Amino acid sequence: MKAINELIMPDDVRYTDDHEWARLEGDTVRVGLDDYAQDQLGDIVFVGLPEIGDTFKKGEEFATVDSVKASAECYIPVSGKIIDINMELEESPQLVNQSPYKDGWFVLVKPDDPSEMDDLMTSNTCIEKLKG
């Protein structure tokens, strides 16, 4: 397990209390599981993703992750429609462990209300919360 100061928490993404991340990319939001969550879960062996076209309200369960240690639900950080999913995770779920913010992303969302991003934590706020 990583120490808090070893976690990778990029400044260009926002974080939820449940350790999902969201990055605004033009008029879409890319979503995944943050470095803290993937580290806590251990080796990820399966990621269950929604279908393209599915819609979710902020905070609804949109994905599941199974690791050698546990199963976890993932909650969508912004309301909207799924416009792309990371098909690579079907064959290579370990990408979430190896590169959670680049290759291990889960979905791309067309947000109903991009201002919902303002409710999410910055990397500094998230790290301070982890320090507790």
Structural domain count, the chain: 1
Which tens digit of pLDDT belongs to each residue from 64-122?
999 999 999 999 999 999 999 999 999 999 999 999 999 999 999 999 999 999 999 99
DSSP string computed for the chain: ---GGG----TTSEE-TTSEEEEEETTEEEEEE-HHHHHHH-SEEEEE---TT-EE-TT-EEEEEEESS-EEEEE-SS-EEEEEE-THHHH-TTHHHH-TTTTT--EEEEES-GGGGGGSBPHHHHHHHHH-
In a domain, 120, yes or no: no
In a domain, 125, yes or no: no
Q: What's the pLDDT at 84?
A: 98
32: number of Cβ within 10 Å: 30
In a domain, 38, yes or no: yes
In a domain, 53, yes or no: yes
Q: How confident is the model at residue 132 (pLDDT cuts 50, 70, 90)?
A: confident
Instruction: Give the pLDDT mean for 42-61.
Output: 98
Q: Which domain holds residue 102?
A: 15-113
Q: Which CATH number belongs to the domain containing residue 32 in this structure?
A: 2.40.50.100
Which tens digit of pLDDT belongs to each residue from 1-10?
899 999 999 9
In a domain, 83, yes or no: yes
